Structure 1
Amino acid sequence: MKTPAHMFFGGLLPFCMIFFMMNDIYASLYSLKVCGAFSTMFTAFLLVIILTVSVGMGCTHYQLSNQDNQWWWRSVFRGGSIAIFMFAYGLYFYARASARISMNLLQFLGYNACIFYAVFLILGTIGFYASSIISKRVHRGLKEL
């Protein structure tokens, strides 16, 4: 698979798991609703990290088993690609709640771009470390043979 396919599938699975929580997250982010249960945010955060690690390890193992050793940047892009899906959901959220949000579209997109760039970097780093762990184990197993 090419890098865009890795990014699409690497971001789609974690996003599907937190899709139903995204409305609460955005509503509390822009002060439309008080998130009374901080466990919602914490649960979404843990789910995203666990799924990023799992998908990263699985895709890297598949990639290494096909003799493709170019896993470095793909692991970063695969891990951080959920931020692209979250940013796209932000556009959907703005379209539905534009009357209740007291900022224009450009300001909303600017804030979202900054927030989800940070999310991209954080999850990309987590995906890279997960992929490097599986890569080291695969190469260690090959040395023992």
Structure 2
Amino acid sequence: MATEYAFDIASDLKTVQALELLSRHISGLTLTWNGKNRDYLVGSTINISVSEQLRSWQETILEGFGFTPTLSVGFRFHNNTDFDAFSEIMFQATMLLLEHAEDAVLLFNYEIIVLQRLGGKLVFNAGYQMWDDDWLKSRLSLPFERRPLPSPLL
């Protein structure tokens, strides 16, 4: 079973713009256009896909989190590779995309909150052990908090 994360964001960015932004600012990723509904960035530990948000999922996120996402950014871990490298790239990508987004939520397997930014407040889920306080403080200059975030999707 693959390890997957979904970053649902409300942004003016289009899918191609988001992919190009990520490919320019995060080293080690190759842009792959598949000509269908999703295009990818591929790295040694990660696949990143960007697509327009499905209407049914927009309604789910609106009901659970109070905002309507326009883009879905998927992060898929390549099994049997370096998970720390994967999580670093996912962190870089989410923080970069937050610079171009209003509200957002990063979910593990579409239900467990990893982080959210609602109404300008960035919160990391203290109940999901991906990044600890020291790690976050060493990489973020903007204000954030860590606290338990029960998921409205469970």
TM-score (norm: length of structure 2): 0.27
Q: Which has the higher helix share?
A: 1
TM-score (norm: length of structure 1): 0.28
Structure possessing the higher radius of gyration over alpha carbons: 1
- The structure whose RCO (Cα within 8 Å, separation 6+) is larger is 1
